[in-house]
Structure 1
Amino acid sequence: MAAPSSASAWRKPLWIALLVLASVVFSLGFACAVPLAAFAAIAALTLGKRDAFVLVGAVWLANQIAGFAINHYPLEPSTFAWGAALGAVALASTLAAQWVKDRLPQGGGATAAAAFLAAFAVYEGSLFAISLVFGSGLSNFTPSIVRRILAINFTAFAALYLLHRLGVVAGIAKEPPKLAARQRRA
């Protein structure tokens, strides 16, 4: 097997680093509204399964570090519990986006939109379910707040998706790995 070209050796680490850096910027700007569903969807669409989970874990960790070190999250058990829940839900959102991506034709805007919607639905639905179970944070699920979180996630997803597409055109990003639905059915 041939060794990877020098271009392919730096593309993926650069993309992952850019996304983690972007997540820190979002963490500083939006604190508790960091668009983890958007990162989950873009990771699922642009990386293989393992790398997508690694990226989403790194994005979550960067958000937690920024939250505690810069935004001064309170050092309380409930804060740590919600942080862990956000990490688990972000990974579940990645899984949902990958599941949708793997079952639709690859490379189109409809697949990207469906993967994003799946990630967002799992993200918000899971957080709502956790809030119901623990009776904490239900006030964060009013229609106006959910619309705001959707708008933040959609805008972030659209910007990251466009950035990736521009990178592909410019030759500094590569097309995402494809697992065509047709191949699995054969």
Structure 2
Amino acid sequence: MTAIDMDSLRSRTAIGLIALPVASILFTLGFACAVPLAAFAAIAATSSNRRDALAAIGAAWLANQAWGFVFRHYPMDWQTFAWGGALGVIAVLSCEAAGAATRQLTGVVGACAAFLAAFLVYEGSLIAIDLVADQNAEDFSATTVLRIFLINACAFGGLWALKILFKGMSFARKVSETLASRQI
């Protein structure tokens, strides 16, 4: 048995709860306010049960906020705190939307549906808040939304590929162990 048993539910949960916050910090370094929380919500929902997915997206959001306030020196004002809180709620709602899609569809189609559901809830919620708060509508131009969509799509695709890679490695290890035990 290896130190990290990828087949263990506890190991997969721990890895998921660590991986998304780490990814969140890495994306924060490059994209600041364009961290792909919709992609994180979708990958969490397609990879874990509901409780673990919500914990993972919460951890990713918290890591993003902590990094932003501590290292990027986000302003310490009510508007920044309000937007940060709103992003946390929206990330959870996006995760729930992705989870609903995942329960309806499986495989690659389910994963794509989960991502689209998460992104639509994420962007739709941001637009709704923007309209209610009478903010700058330029933040949601077609070009900006497309850029955010592409960032999220690439992040989701990369995380999905890593998920498949880890599953493949786990399967290959099982086959290897089975063959080795038959030779003894």
TM range (shorter): 0.7 to 0.9
CA distance in 2, matches of 1:137, 1:169: 46
For 2:33, the equivalent position in structure 1 comes to 32
Alignment of 1:148 onto 2:156? no
For 2:180, the equivalent position in structure 1 comes to none
For 2:164, the equivalent position in structure 1 comes to 165
CA distance in 1, matches of 2:48, 2:90: 19
Number of equivalences? 165
For 1:100, the equivalent position in structure 2 comes to 101
Secondary structure of the 1:65 match is helix
CA distance in 2, matches of 1:147, 1:134: 22
For 1:110, the equivalent position in structure 2 comes to 109
* 1:10 CA displacement: 2.1
For 1:21, the equivalent position in structure 2 comes to 22
Name the one with the larger helix percent: 2
- Highest CA radius of gyration, 1 or 2? 2
CA distance in 1, matches of 2:155, 2:136: 24
Unaligned runs of 5+ in 2: 172-184
CA distance in 1, matches of 2:40, 2:19: 12
* 1:136 CA displacement: 1.7
* 1:66 CA displacement: 0.7
CA distance in 2, matches of 1:37, 1:123: 6
Unaligned runs of 5+ in 1: 1-5, 173-186
Once the two structures are superposed, residues 35-86 of structure 1 have per-residue CA deviations (whole angstroms, 9 ceiling, x without a partner) of 0000000000000000000000000000000111111111110000000000
CA distance in 2, matches of 1:71, 1:148: 22
Once the two structures are superposed, residues 12-33 of structure 1 have per-residue CA deviations (whole angstroms, 9 ceiling, x without a partner) of 2023212211111001111100
CA distance in 1, matches of 2:126, 2:53: 21
* 1:99 CA displacement: 0.6
Secondary structure of the 2:73 match is coil
Alignment of 1:130 onto 2:141? no
Q: 1:132 to 1:75 in 2, by over 3 A?
A: same
Could you state the TM-score of these two structures normalised by the residue count of structure 2? 0.87
CA distance in 2, matches of 1:123, 1:137: 18
CA contact (8 A) 2:13 2:52 kept: no
Structure with larger RCO (C-alpha < 8 A, sep 6+): 1
